[in-house]
Structure 1
Amino acid sequence: MSALVFDCDGVLADTERFGHLPAFNATFAEHGLPVRWSEDDYGEKLAIGGGKERMASLFQDPEFVRSAGIPDDDAARAQLLAEWHRTKTARFRALVAAGEIPARPGVARLVAEALDDGWTVAVASTSAEESVRAVLEHAVGAGTAARIPVFAGDVVPAKKPDPAIYDLVLQTLDLDHGDTLVVEDSRNGLLAATGAGLPCLVTVNGYTRHEPFDEAVLVVSELGDPDRPPIEVLANRGGAQPGHHVVLGDARACLGRPDRTPSTDRPERGTA
């Protein structure tokens, strides 16, 4: 059985710029913390997997520790992080509920194609599970989301680029490495997928377009949709031949299988 495993942030929706960053800054303001991250600051923080881990990086700044009155005790710091992260998750979910975070093109379409064709579809993310489920429902609808298992948050001890989350998906869903394609948007995610022995399709975003994706089978600007401009293929190291947008046949080709998609479903580049 073929499987398609999506990352969440930057893959299902443009969550980093329009969701996580404003949620972090709102959390800092609510808790009276003397820090605000700019878009460039947050771009650097994306090298760290996990929201709590990104906030914990603040403890490396002696000036922040002093001005915010951060205790030296590790247990007290862990309690602070948990409290901040609860606030941040609530802020993020409110943004999702308000429709402030746009779903990425092609996600709902490709998920529907895969499910209709009998594929297993799952989501694997380092973000909090509540946040991931909220984004998933927003991107594909509640009915479809209910059919998709979610692996997120602290279900594994190490965050991406460690492959633990993908190892867990493979084991829990009893998937075969050769039948499972991962969709990621960042180098950390790509390394997590390939570290688990899985081929990876990358859909870049504004924060990750500059990153190296040498190990990816296919790198595209987005998955695309018929009513949008044609996608840009940034790298192609497999048998996929994407046209105007990525279709299930391209995912199948990334697994090294023949594309059985009828030609009528594969419009030429530049056509709808």
Structure 2
Amino acid sequence: MKCGLRGLFLDFDGTIAETERIGQRVAYNRAFAELRLDWFWDEALYGELLAVAGGKERLRFYLERHRPELLDDADTSALIAEIHRAKIRHFAEIAPAIPLRPGLLRLVREANAAGVMVAIATTASKPGVEALLSQDLHLPAMINLIAANEAVERKKPEPDIYVWALARLGLEAADCVAIEDSNVGLRAALAAQLQTIVTVSDYTAREDFAGATAVLSNLGEPNAPALSLHGARPEAGIVDLAFLEEILNAAGRQAVV
């Protein structure tokens, strides 16, 4: 199909797969055990820590809230970096077994066939992203760019990762749609002037998604349509290129008015 949409931007954690609870959290705990730290992040605590994007930033936030005595240690930054390196390694081992969210592979295939660029814009680290994508033989080749933690200093909700990715791909925000799962990610995408769909995840269902074009349970499959929670509703509960085109066309009409 001929498509006016030029770019599709995907968040990673919670959007491509439900990686937070059964992936990233587990990897942090394995890193703590490996380094003989008596720390453990249960599901509730990890949900609180997700208010901060970026692994190193999240670790420092944890120390500020729960281990403030360690912040006086001159080696704190080195410890954070060591934990983060171990966490990345452990997550890369876990990631290939975490299933993709409904509709993700279908939509990426459709975009690829139509010549729409697909980018992952995330605060996660690139090795973990690549490890998860490896579960499908063809998926890595269908991703034009992985814009990950290492690309920019300021993490979401700042728009830097999206601005960087748009520039690298030579795209304009007005020709692209972003898919996020969290308030933090939504704020980043909106700040980059991207029309944004939210597919809620394990940890984000109760967050504020004001400004999202659509809020859905997932991207939908033909035999398992997505639930529309707010905003634009995809036909038959399936987020496809036609639905993304409708979103861009509606935004264009509003801009003219």
- TM-score, normalised by the number of residues in structure 2: 0.90
Identity of aligned residues (%): 38
| 1:136 paired residue number | 133
| 2:82 paired residue number | 83
User: How far apart are residue 112 of structure 1 and its match?
Assistant: 0.3
Counterpart check, 1:40 vs 2:41: no
Q: Counterparts of 1:136 and 1:115 in 2: how far apart (Å)?
A: 15
Structure number with greater CO (CA < 8 Å, separation at least 6) is 2
- Tell me if the contact between 1:12 and 1:135 (Cα under 8 Å) persists in the aligned partners: no
User: How far apart are residue 71 of structure 1 and its match?
Assistant: 5.8
SS in 1 for 2:161: helix
- Pick the aligned partner of 2:246 from 234, 239, 253: 253
Moved more, 166-175 or 145-154: 145-154
- Tell me if the contact between 1:218 and 1:236 (Cα under 8 Å) persists in the aligned partners: yes
Counterpart check, 1:15 vs 2:19: yes
Q: What letter corresponds to residue 233 of structure 1 in structure 2?
A: S
Q: Counterparts of 2:32 and 2:205 in 1: how far apart (Å)?
A: 28
Counterpart check, 1:205 vs 2:201: yes
- Tell me if the contact between 1:34 and 1:64 (Cα under 8 Å) persists in the aligned partners: no
User: How far apart are residue 65 of structure 1 and its match?
Assistant: 5.4
Q: Counterparts of 2:68 and 2:115 in 1: how far apart (Å)?
A: 52
| 1:231 paired residue number | 226
Counterpart check, 1:123 vs 2:120: yes
- Pick the aligned partner of 1:109 from 106, 109, 119: 106
The superposition leaves residues 123-170 of structure 1 with CA deviations (integer Å, 9 ceiling, x where unpaired) of: 0100111111222333xx243312411000121110000000001011
The superposition leaves residues 166-208 of structure 1 with CA deviations (integer Å, 9 ceiling, x where unpaired) of: 0101111111121110000000000000001111011001210
| 2:254 paired residue number | none
| 1:52 paired residue number | 56
- TM-score, normalised by the number of residues in structure 1: 0.85
- Tell me if the contact between 1:203 and 1:222 (Cα under 8 Å) persists in the aligned partners: yes
| 1:190 paired residue number | 186
Q: Counterparts of 2:132 and 2:197 in 1: how far apart (Å)?
A: 20
Q: Counterparts of 1:24 and 1:189 in 2: how far apart (Å)?
A: 21
Q: What letter corresponds to residue 82 of structure 1 in structure 2?
A: A
- Tell me if the contact between 2:109 and 2:142 (Cα under 8 Å) persists in the aligned partners: no
Q: Counterparts of 1:234 and 1:58 in 2: how far apart (Å)?
A: 32
Q: Counterparts of 1:109 and 1:217 in 2: how far apart (Å)?
A: 21
The superposition leaves residues 3-33 of structure 1 with CA deviations (integer Å, 9 ceiling, x where unpaired) of: 1000000011110011001111111121121
| 1:96 paired residue number | 95
- Tell me if the contact between 2:18 and 2:202 (Cα under 8 Å) persists in the aligned partners: no
| 1:261 paired residue number | none
Q: Counterparts of 1:77 and 1:151 in 2: how far apart (Å)?
A: 27
Q: What letter corresponds to residue 200 of structure 1 in structure 2?
A: T
Counterpart check, 1:219 vs 2:218: no
Q: How many residues of Structure 1 are paired with residues of Structure 2 in the alignment?
A: 246
SS in 1 for 2:178: strand
The superposition leaves residues 22-57 of structure 1 with CA deviations (integer Å, 9 ceiling, x where unpaired) of: 111111121121221111111111110011111112
User: How far apart are residue 231 of structure 1 and its match?
Assistant: 1.4
Counterpart check, 1:5 vs 2:2: no
Q: Which has the higher helix share?
A: 2
User: How far apart are residue 70 of structure 1 and its match?
Assistant: 6.6
Q: What letter corresponds to residue 58 of structure 1 in structure 2?
A: Y
| 2:67 paired residue number | 64
- Tell me if the contact between 1:8 and 1:136 (Cα under 8 Å) persists in the aligned partners: no
User: How far apart are residue 257 of structure 1 and its match?
Assistant: 6.0
| CA RMSD between the two structures | 1.8
| 2:171 paired residue number | 175
